Amino acid sequence: MLIDKEELETQADFIVSRLQGYADAGNKVFASCSFQTQSLPLLHMISRTGRDIPVYYTNTGFLFPETIAFADQLTEQLGLRVIGLQPDTAKLRQMDRQGRFLYTSDPDHCCHLNKVLPLQPLLIENDIWVNGIRADQSDVRAQMAEEEMAQHGCLRYHPMLAWNAPMIYYYRKQYGLPEHPLEVQGYRSIGCEPCTRKLFDQDLERNSRWSGLNKTECGLNTTLVGNNSI
């Protein structure tokens, strides 16, 4: 796929300007991030704004060590203010009656405890939630608008919605941005370690998550989304 380099830069400049505009209008702005390779362009654009936009990630306690190390690396490299959120529910209380972790028996509830609940207070405290989802990642995300209402009157902004993998790749190469260390091993959509597998060549990106289950989202893009788009 051929990439129009000038158009891509124009889009990136527009996103940077849009983020600056949100902040300059007096809004409290934050971003959420999974710290995968696909996260790099948006993180780099946030670093270009010159505004204090904190970046949060949910440190569930089940993340790959490589993901946490990658987050630390990018924090220093891009000069970001990165904050790890942790669940209030202790891991020993995240088991079913048979003594199995919830990620094996009730992954939706596991995601609710470890991802949704830690992020929810931020929607009360902030005005704008910057989220890097892409429409080509899942059917749920394909139905979303560039701006979408979340809970508690917080507005979600999806600057990367129309981007695709080749655009992500080009932007990363253009600015010399690294890739997640597990990607070279065959991981392309990387979440919690127990719920992530390597991909086969013909697999869709999100197929590497919750393999064998009728599940493609953790709840951040379903539970926390309101019903009205802008």
Question: Which residues are identified as catalytic?
Answer: 218
SS (H, E, C) 101-116: EHHHHCHHHHHHHHHH
Task: Please state, in angstroms and rounded to a whole number, the distance separating the CA atoms of residues 102 and 157.
Answer: 31
**What is the SS3 string spanning 183-224?**
HHHCCCCCCEHHHECCCCCCCCHHHHECCCCCCCCCCCCCCC
Identify the DSSP state of 130: E
How far lies 194's CA from each of 41, 96, 102, in Å?
Answer: 27, 16, 11
Nearest to 198 by CA among 184, 183, 210, 186: 186
In contact, 230 and 148? CB cutoff 8 Å? yes
Classify 210 in phi/psi space as left (phi over 0), alpha (psi -120 to 50) or beta. Answer: left
Return the axis-axis angle of helices 40-48 and 65-78, rounded to nearest 10°.
30
